[in-house]
């Protein structure tokens, strides 16, 4: 498993609509320029150089807002000190509340300052070799009634790709939000809605995806952009998976391989389906497949049961993630995970919802019970030695588990306040392996 390092220049990109491609009737009848598994791996890895897996970090909260990552952007809306009244719950409502002119003013400052080239230099110096950069559909096109201004985020994405090229980092471009939302999470841009597959939303998202595939699979990007994620975290249990596959995934793949004739790597999130669910999707009986990487996201803080696990239980689950991926047919990478052992970070579960860990969680009639205190959660000096030790052990165990296959991309590099979710703060507080191969607790998944 080795990364390829090449060089070239980025060119400009037209925002013209891409032509929609009809859905194929029979996938096996299509002629793809590259279907061999080894050819896929060679596009990721140069077998003559660089013996290391993907060790990456996500650039969260920058081009797609998440309230818990940059709470200062959202606090200005507060109307009641006792609750979250008035605070927009996602980026869609942030734009709606402010209007396009004021939102652009504030977000231009955010885009200019939350990430700069120095962050990418620091990421490289910390030993990472790849960044995954989320971007929303509204960066490329919008629905008639959307509140967004479109296009500007692309300029920052391209700037970041240039910074990565200059500093020896690879990039996954991740379409993080679909029109209508693919999961109802605030990280999709629109919370509490899952209308991605409604016809108008699906068509717009497909048009956007074709633009992304066209632009970032051109030769001038392929030295740095080594993967395009078709959509982040579609909520499989809540969407029509057959429609999703037949009217989104397959047409997108056909557009890239047949219409464009390009070799760019395609990333498909597992849609929260179990290991091996995707083994029969875009695979062939002769051992070849269609050049797809499967992305798994793993956390243990989004249910009370997970939060109260003992260390041994948490470790067992962690190691099972690595073992499960080794049995899958497609090449796999853990595209998100974190160091978090609690859900105490403000607004992690969403504006106005609270934390399960301290019993303040309440959503749609569902509440939680007290497990522990969230007081001073962002002050590492108040953490017990056991919590510091467990945080480091958890990070190392996840690294080891995910390196059983293609590697990992931790979420995320920085936040304004949350230590558990900010890699730069974990590094600064001595809780994160430096170098990345350093193990204070080796062999945790070998027992």
Residue with tokens 């470790």: 315
Q: How far is CA 425 from CA 270, 381, 409, 412, in A?
A: 29, 13, 17, 11
| Residues 300, 306, 309, 315, CA torsion sign | negative
Q: Cβ neighbours of residue 199 under 8 Å, at least 6 residues apart? A: none
CB 26 within 8 A of CB 102: no
Annotation says 258 is catalytic: no
Q: Which of 66, 91, 229, 233 is catalytic?
A: 233
Q: Which of 66, 91, 210, 336 is catalytic?
A: 336
For residue 143, the number of C-alpha atoms closer than 13 Å in the C-beta half-sphere is 19
Annotation says 233 is catalytic: yes
Give CA–CA dist 193/213, Å, rounded: 26
The residues annotated with a catalytic role in the active site are: 233, 336
């Amino acid at each position: 498993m080795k990364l390829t390092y090449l060089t070239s220049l980025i060119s400009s990109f037209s925002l013209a609509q891409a032509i929609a491609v009809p859905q194929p009737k029979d996938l096996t009848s299509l002629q793809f320029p590259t279907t061999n598994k080894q050819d896929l791996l060679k596009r990721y890895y140069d077998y003559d150089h660089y013996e290391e897996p993907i060790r990456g970090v996500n650039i969260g909260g920058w081009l797609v807002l998440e309230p818990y990552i940059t709470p200062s952007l959202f606090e200005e809306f507060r109307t009641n000190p006792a609750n979250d009244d008035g605070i927009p719950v996602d980026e869609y409502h942030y734009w709606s509340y402010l209007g396009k002119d004021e939102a652009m003013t504030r977000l231009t400052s955010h885009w200019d300052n939350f990430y700069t080239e120095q962050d990418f230099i620091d990421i490289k110096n910390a030993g990472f070799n790849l960044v995954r950069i989320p971007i929303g559909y509204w960066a490329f096109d919008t629905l008639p009634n959307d509140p967004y201004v479109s296009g500007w985020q692309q300029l920052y994405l391209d700037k970041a790709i240039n910074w990565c090229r200059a500093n020896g980092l690879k990039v996954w471009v991740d379409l993080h939000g679909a029109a209508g939302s693919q999961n109802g999470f605030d990280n999709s841009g629109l919370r509490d809605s899952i209308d991605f597959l409604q016809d108008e939303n699906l068509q717009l998202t497909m048009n956007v995806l074709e633009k992304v595939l066209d632009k970032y699979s051109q030769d001038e990007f392929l030295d740095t952009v080594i993967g395009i994620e078709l959509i982040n975290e579609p909520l499989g249990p809540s969407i029509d998976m057959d429609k999703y596959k037949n009217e989104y995934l397959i047409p997108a793949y056909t557009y890239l391989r047949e219409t464009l004739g390009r070799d760019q790597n395609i990333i498909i999130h597992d849609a929260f389906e179990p290991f091996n669910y995707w083994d029969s999707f875009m695979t062939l009986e002769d051992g070849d497949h269609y050049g797809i990487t499967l992305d798994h996201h793993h956390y243990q803080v989004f249910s009370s049961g997970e939060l109260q696990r003992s260390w041994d239980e948490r470790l067992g689950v962690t190691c099972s993630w690595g073992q499960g991926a080794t049995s899958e047919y497609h090449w796999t990478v853990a595209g998100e995970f974190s160091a978090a052992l609690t859900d105490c970070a403000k607004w992690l579960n969403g504006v106005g919802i609270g934390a399960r860990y301290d019993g303040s969680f309440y959503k749609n009639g569902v509440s939680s019970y007290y497990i522990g205190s969230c007081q001073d959660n962002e002050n590492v000096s108040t953490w017990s030695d056991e919590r510091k030790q467990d945080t480091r052990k958890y990070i190392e165990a996840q690294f080891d588990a995910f390196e059983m296959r293609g590697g990992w991309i931790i979420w995320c590099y920085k936040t304004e306040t949350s230590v558990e979710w900010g890699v730069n703060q974990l590094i600064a507080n001595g809780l994160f392996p430096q170098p990345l191969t350093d193990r204070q607790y080796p062999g945790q998944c070998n027992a």
